[in-house]
Amino acid sequence: MSEKVLMKGNEAIAEAAIRAGCMHYFGYPITPQTELAAYMAKKMPKIGGVFLQAESELAAINMVYGVAATGKRVMTSSSSPGVSLKQEGISYIAGSDLPALIVNVQRGGPGLGGIQPSQAYYFQATKGGGHGDYHIIVLAPNSVQEMADLTALSFDLADKYRMPSMLLADGTLGQMMEPVILPEKSNNSVEKPWAVTGTEGKRKHNIVNSLYLKPDILEKVNFERYERYKEVEKNEVRYESFMMDDAEFCVVAFGIAARISKNAVIAARKEGIKVGLIRPITLWPFPKKPLADAADQVKGFVSVELSMGQMIEDINLAISCKKPVILCNRAGGMIPSPEQVLESIKALGGNK
Amino acid sequence: MRRITLFCGHYGSGKTNIAVNYAFYIRSKGFKTAIVDLDIVNPYFRTKDSEKELEKCGIRVISLPFANSNVDLPSIPSESYSVFSNKDEYAVFDIGGDDSGAYVLGQFEPYIKAEKDFDNFYVANFSRPLTRNAEEALGVMREIELAGKVPFTGIINNTNLGEETEINDILLSNGEALRLSKISNLPLVMTTVREDLAKDVKAENIFPLKLQKKYW
């Protein structure tokens, strides 16, 4: 049979993580990401890995912290309220310069919200949802194939820059089924001389810690960390540009919103409206330059979001408010239709 | 065609889609038809998504009033029992995936077995990663039977890759479906194929499927 298999987005993340050499999963069930944990529960015991359903999200993220300190690839997954609970642990992992993968299959909020899809955790993911000065790498897949591919990439980037990475998906991507070619088995794990693996009396012992007793040392650690973040911003920006060559208007959307937007762009083009799409794949680092460049070319932007308008702030920052940016959104678990996006493009002046 | 038809199978094998299409098929023959949504494990993409079209055709849709809402409760519509007393009505049951989805069937077991005029079809998609071959599919089948307590009466080969399905995928899967038939001692009752491909697949008992519309 062909290499392609039909998978749910949640399952694709799980299988891709295993193939990327992640043998440790800690989580706690929550709709709409539960299939990911369920897949791990089925598969990990068969391959000698660890699946552990912790007593809470807090416990799970701190187990991730522990395994990350040993240099092993490790992950957790949850949905919005559960990821909020993990924020303290994520801050500690970032403050200890450890790689780990956190998956957020977002659902409606705030509070307990609902179980339908959402993108209202953009702020939390990209601005550091926990305390202190830190960033995590945030990748936003828009297909089941990317759920798999970006999972592998998340591990690689986390290892490379010694920082947590997050896969920011949503309920639709987690639940929908699409054909996927699973990534080959790999473990591109870099050398981890900092890992706490036992010295065997041969080296100085390593310390994994986020507590610094002297403020000037803590400041130095922060400055050094931000030098690393600059490298990430320089090297790791990823985005997709669609029909932008002659575009007079630019739609900006990620994840499931980008798929809907793409259909709206195609429909608009059929009506003779010159519009294109920029789809951020990395939400942090945000594709500032491509957007700034687009601002010199287009008359305005539409930010399509399953939230009350979060990414729109980063678009305005990226383009230094040079051009108008309007919001096209649904919230609470609802999804915008291509028609709604098309209306917004026209409202921006794309009405011929 | 039996009065009661159940569709069970591995998670994501295509049960809901087949159940909905099968209900339309029965209705098109002029019979009174009901579809019962007993999927209590899947939060998205449910029978309820097709409710309007089903009801427009005069098919009775039995599902929880809060299916597709934010109420994430594994409960069963009490109306489900009505299909066992309405003897002049055909009923299609959409059961949740795997053994965890099939447990719900257990409480209907006495009614279904008393009915005698029923089919319980095992839906197989050999493009799913945990049921890539006949042996794996048989494993899932046995788990479901143990949980649902209703024996299977036939196999449906629903091997597909969604919109990317090619005729070759279906033809290649036929051997595996026949092997599953052999090792399970159950007949291969139909091969379900997306309707635009159905006319080009030369096999017995092809059942064309309409897929649900997506806009992403």
Assess if residue B27 is contained within a domain. Answer: yes
CA nearest A90: which of A112, A123, A57? A57
Chain A residues whose beta carbon lies within 8 Å of the beta carbon of residue B161: 2, 4-6, 179
**What's the rounded mean pLDDT across residues A295-309?**
98
Chain A residues whose beta carbon lies within 8 Å of the beta carbon of residue B215: 260, 263, 337-338
pLDDT value at residue B69: 77
CB-based burial, B147-177: b 16+ in 10 Å, e otherwise: bbbbebbbbbbbbbbbeebeeebbeebbebb
Tens digits of residue pLDDT in B104-150:
999 999 999 999 899 999 999 999 988 999 999 999 999 999 999 99
Q: State how far residue A116 is from chain B, nearest Cα, in angstroms.
A: 7
Q: Are residues A16 and A139 in the same domain?
A: yes
Q: Are residues A84 and A183 in the same domain?
A: yes
Longest dimension (CA), chain A: 75
State which residues form the domain around A333.
240-350
Assess if residue B73 is contained within a domain. Answer: yes
B216 touches chain A (CB under 8 A): yes
Residue B174: CATH number of its domain: 3.40.50.300
Tens digits of residue pLDDT in A220-253:
999 999 999 999 999 999 999 999 999 999 999 9
Q: Are residues A109 and A91 in the same domain?
A: yes
pLDDT value at residue A1: 39
Residue A261: CATH number of its domain: 3.40.50.920
Tens digits of residue pLDDT in A305-315:
999 999 999 99
pLDDT value at residue A350: 58
pLDDT value at residue A132: 96
Q: How many whole angstroms separate alpha carbon A76 and alpha carbon A14?
A: 10
Assess if residue B108 is contained within a domain. Answer: yes
**What's the rounded mean pLDDT across residues A197-201?**
93
A183 touches chain B (CB under 8 A): no
Assess if residue B215 is contained within a domain. Answer: no
pLDDT value at residue A351: 57
Task: Name the domain count of chain A.
Answer: 2
pLDDT value at residue B28: 97
Residue A165: CATH number of its domain: 3.40.50.970
pLDDT band with cut points at 50, 70 and 90 for residue A2: very low
A113 touches chain B (CB under 8 A): yes
Q: Are residues A69 and A97 in the same domain?
A: yes
Q: Are residues A212 and A145 in the same domain?
A: yes
B45 touches chain A (CB under 8 A): yes
Q: How many whole angstroms separate alpha carbon B180 and alpha carbon B171?
A: 15
pLDDT score of B215 more than 90: no
Assess if residue B42 is contained within a domain. Answer: yes
Q: Are residues A166 and A249 in the same domain?
A: no
Q: Closest partner residue to B161 among A8, A114, A179, by Cβ?
A: A179
CB A129 within 8 A of CB A84: yes
Assess if residue B14 is contained within a domain. Answer: yes
Chain B residues whose beta carbon lies within 8 Å of the beta carbon of residue A182: 129
Domain boundary, last residue among A235, A264, A299? A235
Give phi and psi for A291, each to the nearest 5.
-75, -40
CA atoms within 13 A on the CB side of A265: 29
Chain B residues whose beta carbon lies within 8 Å of the beta carbon of residue A11: 12, 129
Q: Closest partner residue to A5 among B69, B127, B172, by Cβ?
A: B127
Assess if residue B15 is contained within a domain. Answer: yes
Q: Are residues A244 and A218 in the same domain?
A: no
Q: Are residues A71 and A204 in the same domain?
A: yes
**DSSP class of residue B90?**
E
A73 touches chain B (CB under 8 A): no
Q: Are residues A185 and A244 in the same domain?
A: no
Average pLDDT, chain B: 92
Average pLDDT, chain A: 96
**What's the rounded mean pLDDT across residues B25-32?**
97
A164 touches chain B (CB under 8 A): no
Assess if residue B148 is contained within a domain. Answer: yes
Which of B40, B44, B123 would you mutate first to test chain A, the one with the most A CBs within 10 A? B44
A333 touches chain B (CB under 8 A): yes
- Residue A232 contacts by C-beta under 8 Å, 6 or more apart in sequence? A135, A137, A157, A161, A163, A285
What does the H/E/C string look like for chain A?
A: CCCCEEEEHHHHHHHHHHHCCCCEEEECCCCCCHHHHHHHHHHHHHHCCEEEECCCHHHHHHHHHHHHHCCCCEEEEECHHHHHHHHHHHHHHHHCCCCEEEEEEEECCCCCCCCCECCCCHHHHHCCCCCCCCCCEEECCCCHHHHHHHHHHHHHHHHHHCCEEEEEEEHHHHHCEEEECCCCCCCCCCCCCCCCCCCCCCCCCCCCCCCCCCHHHHHHHHHHHHHHHHHHHHHCCCEEEECCCCCCEEEECCHHHHHHHHHHHHHHHHCCCCEEEEEECEEECCCHHHHHHHHCCCCEEEEEECCCCCHHHHHHHHCCCCCCEEEEECCCCCCCCHHHHHHHHHHHHHCC
Q: Is the CB of A1 less than 8 angstroms away from the CB of B169?
A: yes
Q: Are residues A225 and A114 in the same domain?
A: yes
Tokens standing for residue B53: 């079209």
Q: Are residues A136 and A110 in the same domain?
A: yes
Tens digits of residue pLDDT in B147-201:
999 999 999 999 999 989 999 999 999 999 999 999 999 999 999 999 999 988 8
**What's the rounded mean pLDDT across residues A136-142?**
98
**What's the rounded mean pLDDT across residues B27-40?**
95
Chain B residues whose beta carbon lies within 8 Å of the beta carbon of residue A179: 127, 161-162, 164
CA nearest B104: which of B5, B12, B6? B6
Task: Please report the ipTM that was assigned to this predicted complex.
Answer: 0.90
Task: Name the domain count of chain B.
Answer: 1
**Cα separations (Å) of A169 from A175, A195, A227?**
10, 30, 28
Chain B residues whose beta carbon lies within 8 Å of the beta carbon of residue A114: 69-70
Q: Closest-CA residue in chain B for A263? A: B216
Q: Are residues A32 and A159 in the same domain?
A: yes
pLDDT score of A271 more than 80: yes
Taken as a whole, chain B contains a residue count of 216
Chain B residues whose beta carbon lies within 8 Å of the beta carbon of residue A42: 130
Give phi and psi for A278, each to the nearest 5.
-115, 120
State which residues form the domain around B118.
4-209
